[in-house]
Amino acid sequence: MPGGSISGEVRVPGDKSMSHRSIMLGALAQGDTHVSGFLEGDDALATVAAFRQMGVKIDGPHDGKITIHGVGMKGLQAPDGELDLGNSGTSIRLLAGLLAGQSFDSTLTGDESLRSRPMARVLTPLALMGADVEGDKPPVTIHGGRPLSGIHYDLPMASAQVKSCVLLAGLYAEGITSVTEPAPTRDHTERMLRGFGYQVSKKDDVIFLQGGAALNAADIDIPADISSAAFFMVAASISPGSDLILTHVGVNPTRTGVINILRLMGADISLQNEREVGGEPVADVRVRYAPLKGIEIPVDQVPLAIDEMPVLFVAAACASGRTTLHGAEELRVKESDRIAAMAEGLTTLGIRTQVLDDGIVIEGGVLGGGTISTYHDHRIAMAFAVAGLRAEEEIRILDCDHVATSFPAFDALARGLGLQITVQED
Ligand code: S3P
């Protein structure tokens, strides 16, 4: 329903990227890994299910706590069938790297959205390392028992999933595996590997590790996901009278593009109580309403805000003037084509947009109402829920089932903070 403002103090669910990695590294470690703040969303649970299928005992999650009884680098067992990673690109891309180093064959698949997403970006470097892999899109098959050799891989796109896949395969490779990226991307894999006692180095722009060492179990405290917090950062920024505190948010500099971009647009965001938790920077984030203005989004911020673009487009629609985005072609291969899906929805609400191959131009304006297709993409659904704060009429958002992949109970939390939102079951 139209209107409202946002206030209160809230901790949004745990970081999705770190939740996946905690299961993967915990499973391969020696000893028990205790995780708190784990995201109990469908994507992270798909990773849990995959490792259970490979014989790893995992207790939980209960209240964000999960214990992984590590089986060691060579302890995974052949799964009894296909590994179904649901909607999760991170699970399938990272697992492909780990599975290339196993002695058994595996087949990875997912839901309709995941089955349409590119896998060549990870299978190409894996093949260069000596892996035997098949399939451009899921399902993909990885034949085990092939010796891997370390390579240097110069990533053709800024992708933390590709970087992580190569590094994880590198754990099983002979010699040194190294990567360079066209622009920095989230570095949770590197940080968490170090937290598990595995040496990962960086010299100039090259990230490298030596294969064959072991991981030691570590306790992990996962902060709140800045990608989930981002919906409320924009919500508070666009609705007059808002004053919100998001607690214990992960503010790793490879993830804070959304804060940098909103500040450039004029947002009033301050970081309080900055601290480091388990090798990751964390802060409480205070956001107060401030009038936003359109900007040219700096291209170097794009990989640092790649998952936050849908809701940043809503901020742009509520800003005065024009916002231009370039260098964001990766948005076209996310859970949906996010440039096309957002442009369509914003047009429905009466906002003028111009779609570019690698981005979009958005003219700030007055948001009306209408019916939005989400293409089953969680972040499209949540972005348009936030738009309701500034809409003049009701917005009806279809197919919101996938919100649970990253942000279970988004609607209840949003309602508690001031969004007027109701969910209708089919
Ligand atoms: C992720 C990397 C990003 C991001 C995704 C999570 C990760 O994908 O969009 O939600 O955890 O490594 P790309 O590597 O495809 O950019």
**Tens digits of residue pLDDT in 282-335:** 999 999 999 999 999 999 999 999 999 999 999 999 999 999 999 999 999 999
When pLDDT is cut at 50, 70 and 90, the band that residue 425 belongs to is confident
Testing ligand 1's pocket by substitution, the residue of 90, 95, 157 carrying the most ligand atoms inside 8 A of its CB is 90
Q: Which residues pair with 154 in a beta bridge?
A: 180
**Contact (CB, 8 A) for 234 and 210:** no
When pLDDT is cut at 50, 70 and 90, the band that residue 426 belongs to is confident
E strands, 240-381, where? 243-250, 268-277, 280-288, 322-325, 352-356, 359-363, 370-372
Query: By three-state DSSP, how is residue 396 classified?
Result: strand
| Cα distance between residue 426 and residue 414, in whole Å | 21
What are the backbone dihedrals phi and psi of residue 103, each rounded to the nearest 5 degrees, phi first? -90, -10
- Mean residue pLDDT of the chain comes to 98
Over residues 414-424, the pLDDT tens digits come to: 999 999 999 99
**∠ CA 108-117-146, rounded to 5°:** 40
Q: Is 405 in the pocket of ligand 1 (CB under 6 A)?
A: no
Number of CB atoms found within 10 A of residue 199's CB = 10
Query: By three-state DSSP, how is residue 41 classified?
Result: coil
Q: Judge whether 307 counts as a catalytic residue.
A: yes
C-alpha of residue 366 to centroid of ligand 1, in Å: 32
Instruction: Please give the pLDDT value at position 170.
Output: 98
Nearest Cα to Cα of residue 117 among 332, 327, 310: 332
| Cα distance between residue 101 and residue 17, in whole Å | 22
Residue 208: is its pLDDT beyond 90? yes
121 CA closest ligand 1 atom index: 15
**Contact (CB, 8 A) for 235 and 416:** no
Over residues 230-276, the pLDDT tens digits come to: 999 999 999 999 999 999 999 999 999 999 999 999 999 999 999 99
Amino acid letter at 125?
P
For the segment 370-377, the average pLDDT, to the nearest whole number, is 98
Q: Which residues pair with 281 in a beta bridge?
A: 276
Boundaries of CATH 3.65.10.10 in the chain? 7-14+222-417, 16-221
Query: By three-state DSSP, how is residue 220 classified?
Result: strand
Testing ligand 1's pocket by substitution, the residue of 161, 187, 332, 405 carrying the most ligand atoms inside 8 A of its CB is 161
**Contact (CB, 8 A) for 202 and 180:** no
Q: Is 17 in the pocket of ligand 1 (CB under 6 A)?
A: yes
The sheet carrying 30-36 orders its strands as 57-62, 65-71, 30-36, 220-221
| Cα distance between residue 228 and residue 407, in whole Å | 7
Number of CB atoms found within 10 A of residue 103's CB = 11
Over residues 1-48, the pLDDT tens digits come to: 999 999 999 999 999 999 999 999 999 999 999 999 999 999 999 999
| Cα distance between residue 146 and residue 123, in whole Å | 14
Residue 92: is its pLDDT beyond 90? yes
**Contact (CB, 8 A) for 71 and 53:** no
When pLDDT is cut at 50, 70 and 90, the band that residue 94 belongs to is very high
Q: Considering the domain 16-221 in this protein, what is its CATH number?
A: 3.65.10.10
When pLDDT is cut at 50, 70 and 90, the band that residue 130 belongs to is very high
Query: By three-state DSSP, how is residue 147 classified?
Result: coil
| Among 307, 399, 401, 411, the one annotated catalytic | 307
Instruction: Please give the pLDDT value at position 254.
Output: 98
Testing ligand 1's pocket by substitution, the residue of 113, 186, 255 carrying the most ligand atoms inside 8 A of its CB is 186
Q: Is 43 in the pocket of ligand 1 (CB under 6 A)?
A: no
Q: Is 0.85 surpassed by the pTM of this model?
A: yes
Instruction: Please give the pLDDT value at position 333.
Output: 97
Q: Considering the domain 7-14+222-417 in this protein, what is its CATH number?
A: 3.65.10.10
Q: Whose CA is nearest to atom 13 of ligand 1?
A: 159
94 CA closest ligand 1 atom index: 12
Sign of CA dihedral 250, 253, 255, 257: positive
Instruction: Please give the pLDDT value at position 388.
Output: 98
C-alpha of residue 365 to centroid of ligand 1, in Å: 31
C-alpha of residue 321 to centroid of ligand 1, in Å: 30
